[in-house]
Structure 1
Amino acid sequence: MADQRTAQTPTPAEDPYEAAARAAAEDPERYWLEAAAAIDWVKAPTRALDDTRAPIYRWFPDGELNVCYNALDRHVAAGRGDDAALVYDSPVTGTQRTYTYAELTDLTARFARALADRGVAKGDRVIIYMPMIPEAVITMLACARLGAIHSVVFGGFSAKELAVRIDDTAPRAVVSASCGIERTRVIEYKPLLDRAIELAEAKPEFSVVVQRPQAPAQLRAGFDLDFAELMAATPEGAPCTTVRSTDELYVLYTSGTTGKPKGIVRDSGGYATALAWSMPHLFGLRPGDTMFTASDVGWVVGHSYIVYGPLLAGVTTVLFEGKPIGTPDASTFFRVIADHGANVFFAAPTAMRVIRKEDPDGEFMKSHDLSSIRAWFMAGERLDPGTYEWTTQKLKEATGRDIPVIDNWWQTETGWPIATNPIGLRTFPLKPGSPTKPVPGYAIEVLDAAGEPVPAGTEGLVVVRLPLPPGTMATVWGDDERYVSSYLSAFDGYYLSGDGGMVDEDGYVYVMGRTDDVINVSGHRLSTGTMEAALASHPAVAECAVIGVEDPTTGQVPRALVVLGGGQAAESDAQALRDELVARVREQVGPVAALKRIDFVPALPKTRSGKILRKTMRELADGRADVVVPSTIEDPAVLDGLREVLASTTGERPAN
Structure 2
Amino acid sequence: MVEQTQKSHISLDHEKMHAPPEGFFERSTSKPNLADFATYQKMYDQSIQDPATFFGEQAKQTLDWIRPFDQPRFPADKKDDFKNGDLPAWFVGGQINAAYNCVDRWAAKDPNKVAIIYEGDEPDSGRKITYGELLKDVCKLAQALTKLGVKKGDSVAVYLPMIPEAVVTLLAIVRIGAMHSVVFAGFSSTSLKDRILDADSRIVITADESKRGGKTIETKKIVDDALKDCPDVRNVIVFKRTGNSHVPFSPGRDLWWHDELAKYGNYFPPTPVDSEDPMFLLYTSGSTGKPKGVQHNTAGYLLGALLTTKYTFDVHEDDVLFTAGDIGWITGHTYCVYGPLLNGATSVVFEGTPAYPNFSRYWEIVDKYKVNQFYVAPTALRLLKRAGHKYVEPYDLSSLRVLGSVGEPIAAEVWHWYSENVGRNKAHVVDTYWQTESGSHLLCPLAGVTPTKPGSASLPFFGIEPKILDPTTGEELKGNDVEGVLAIKSAWPSITRGIFGDYNRYIDTYLRPYADHYFSGDGAARDLDGFYWILGRVDDVVNVSGHRLSTAEVEAALIEHDLVGESAVVGYADDLTGQAIAAYVSLKKHKLPADADLEAIKKELILTVRKEIGPFAAPKTVLFVDDLPKTRSGKIMRRILRKVLAGEEDSLGDISTLSNPQAVSQIIDVVKTSRK
TM over 0.5: yes
Q: Give the SS at the match of 1:253.
A: strand
Aligned twin of 2:19: none
Offset at residue 383 of structure 1 (A)? 1.0
Offset at residue 653 of structure 1 (A)? 7.5
In the alignment, structure 1 residue 50 sits paired with structure 2 residue 74: yes
Amino acid at match of 1:72: V
Q: Give the SS at the match of 1:265.
A: strand
Query: CA offsets per residue over residues 102-142 of structure 1, 9 Å max, x none?
Result: 00001110111111112112111100011011111101000
Offset at residue 491 of structure 1 (A)? 1.2
Correspondence list, 1:393-432, <5 A: 393-395=420-422, 399=424, 401-423=425-447, 427-432=449-454
In the alignment, structure 1 residue 437 sits paired with structure 2 residue 459: yes
Distance 1:635 1:470, change over 3 A: closer
Query: CA offsets per residue over residues 387-422 of structure 1, 9 Å max, x none?
Result: 1122223235xx4x4322221000011011111101
Distance 1:235 1:560, change over 3 A: closer
User: Which of 41, 45, 50 in structure 1 is aligned with 2:65?
Assistant: 41
Q: Give the SS at the match of 1:505.
A: coil
Aligned twin of 2:9: none
Distance 1:436 1:624, change over 3 A: farther
How far, CA to CA, are the matches of 2:675 and 2:197 in structure 1? 49
Aligned twin of 2:379: 350
How far, CA to CA, are the matches of 2:387 and 2:255 in structure 1? 43
In the alignment, structure 1 residue 459 sits paired with structure 2 residue 483: yes
How far, CA to CA, are the matches of 2:126 and 2:327 in structure 1? 18
Query: CA offsets per residue over residues 552-572 of structure 1, 9 Å max, x none?
Result: xxxxxx997655xxxxxxxxx
Distance 1:437 1:561, change over 3 A: closer
User: Which of 158, 161, 164 in structure 1 is aligned with 2:191?
Assistant: 161
Query: CA offsets per residue over residues 613-639 of structure 1, 9 Å max, x none?
Result: 4xx41xx24769999958655446x63
Aligned twin of 1:522: none
Offset at residue 214 of structure 1 (A)? 5.9
Offset at residue 340 of structure 1 (A)? 0.8
In the alignment, structure 1 residue 376 sits paired with structure 2 residue 418: no
Query: CA offsets per residue over residues 512-531 of structure 1, 9 Å max, x none?
Result: 1111489xxxxxxxxx99xx
Q: Is the 8 A contact 1:460 1:500 kept in 2?
A: yes
Q: Is the 8 A contact 2:85 2:511 kept in 1?
A: no
Offset at residue 173 of structure 1 (A)? 0.6
How far, CA to CA, are the matches of 1:328 and 1:379 in structure 2? 24
How far, CA to CA, are the matches of 1:82 and 1:178 in structure 2? 30
How far, CA to CA, are the matches of 1:410 and 1:238 in structure 2? 35
Distance 1:562 1:163, change over 3 A: closer
Q: Is the 8 A contact 1:55 1:488 kept in 2?
A: no
Distance 1:443 1:562, change over 3 A: closer
How far, CA to CA, are the matches of 2:216 and 2:107 in structure 1? 37
Offset at residue 229 of structure 1 (A)? 1.1
In the alignment, structure 1 residue 31 sits paired with structure 2 residue 54: yes
Offset at residue 277 of structure 1 (A)? 1.6
Aligned twin of 1:447: 469
Query: CA offsets per residue over residues 51-108 of structure 1, 9 Å max, x none?
Result: 498523321121101010000001122x221111011001337411111100000111
Q: Is the 8 A contact 2:160 2:207 kept in 1?
A: yes
Amino acid at match of 1:502: A
Query: CA offsets per residue over residues 457-482 of structure 1, 9 Å max, x none?
Result: 22210111122x11121111122111
Query: CA offsets per residue over residues 364-407 of structure 1, 9 Å max, x none?
Result: 211111111001000011212121122223235xx4x4322221
Distance 1:293 1:632, change over 3 A: farther
User: Which of 127, 137, 155 in structure 1 is aligned with 2:157?
Assistant: 127
Q: Is the 8 A contact 1:55 1:493 kept in 2?
A: no
User: Which of 615, 619, 636 in structure 2 is aligned with 1:639?
Assistant: 619
Query: CA offsets per residue over residues 416-456 of structure 1, 9 Å max, x none?
Result: 11111012xx5222212101111111000111121112252
Q: Is the 8 A contact 2:117 2:349 kept in 1?
A: yes
How far, CA to CA, are the matches of 2:305 and 2:585 in structure 1? 42
Q: Is the 8 A contact 2:209 2:220 kept in 1?
A: yes
Distance 1:227 1:356, change over 3 A: same
How far, CA to CA, are the matches of 1:652 and 1:171 in structure 2? 45
How far, CA to CA, are the matches of 1:633 and 1:411 in structure 2? 21
Aligned twin of 2:671: 649
Query: CA offsets per residue over residues 545-587 of structure 1, 9 Å max, x none?
Result: xx9xxxxxxxxxx997655xxxxxxxxxxxxxxxxxxxxxxxx
How far, CA to CA, are the matches of 1:416 and 1:635 in structure 2? 24
How far, CA to CA, are the matches of 1:19 and 1:451 in structure 2? 30
Correspondence list, 1:177-188, <5 A: 177-188=207-218
Offset at residue 232 of structure 1 (A)? 1.8
Aligned twin of 2:98: 67
Amino acid at match of 2:52: E
Q: Percent identity?
A: 32
Q: Is the 8 A contact 1:55 1:484 kept in 2?
A: no
Aligned twin of 1:208: 237
User: Which of 64, 68, 76 in structure 1 is aligned with 2:107?
Assistant: 76
Q: Give the SS at the match of 1:459.
A: strand
How far, CA to CA, are the matches of 1:517 and 1:394 in structure 2? 36
In the alignment, structure 1 residue 385 sits paired with structure 2 residue 412: yes
How far, CA to CA, are the matches of 1:237 and 1:509 in structure 2? 47
Distance 1:94 1:402, change over 3 A: closer
Q: Is the 8 A contact 2:85 2:507 kept in 1?
A: no
Range moving further from structure 2, 85-94 or 121-130 = 85-94
How far, CA to CA, are the matches of 2:436 and 2:493 in structure 1? 14
Q: Is the 8 A contact 1:156 1:189 kept in 2?
A: no
Aligned twin of 1:593: none
Distance 1:218 1:560, change over 3 A: closer
Normalised to the residue count of structure 1, the TM-score between the two structures is 0.79
Offset at residue 301 of structure 1 (A)? 0.4
How far, CA to CA, are the matches of 2:67 and 2:270 in structure 1? 14
In the alignment, structure 1 segments of 5+ residues that lack a partner are 519-527, 533-546, 548-557, 564-603
Query: CA offsets per residue over residues 130-177 of structure 1, 9 Å max, x none?
Result: 101111110100001100110000114211111111111111210010
Q: Give the SS at the match of 1:420.
A: coil
Distance 1:363 1:479, change over 3 A: same
Distance 1:140 1:371, change over 3 A: same
In the alignment, structure 1 residue 488 sits paired with structure 2 residue 511: yes
How far, CA to CA, are the matches of 1:100 and 1:291 in structure 2? 15
Q: Give the SS at the match of 2:294.
A: strand
Amino acid at match of 1:91: D
How far, CA to CA, are the matches of 1:438 and 1:624 in structure 2? 47
Q: Is the 8 A contact 2:74 2:92 kept in 1?
A: yes
Normalised to the residue count of structure 2, the TM-score between the two structures is 0.76
In the alignment, structure 1 residue 300 sits paired with structure 2 residue 320: no
How far, CA to CA, are the matches of 1:435 and 1:515 in structure 2? 18
Aligned twin of 1:506: 529
How far, CA to CA, are the matches of 2:48 and 2:170 in structure 1? 33
Q: Is the 8 A contact 2:283 2:293 kept in 1?
A: yes
Q: Give the SS at the match of 1:128.
A: strand
Aligned twin of 2:562: none
How many corresponding residue pairs?
552
How far, CA to CA, are the matches of 1:117 and 1:308 in structure 2? 25
Amino acid at match of 2:434: W
Offset at residue 191 of structure 1 (A)? 1.8
Q: Is the 8 A contact 1:188 1:215 kept in 2?
A: no
How far, CA to CA, are the matches of 2:318 and 2:49 in structure 1? 34
Q: Give the SS at the match of 2:409.
A: coil
Range moving further from structure 2, 98-107 or 451-460 = 451-460
Aligned twin of 1:272: 302
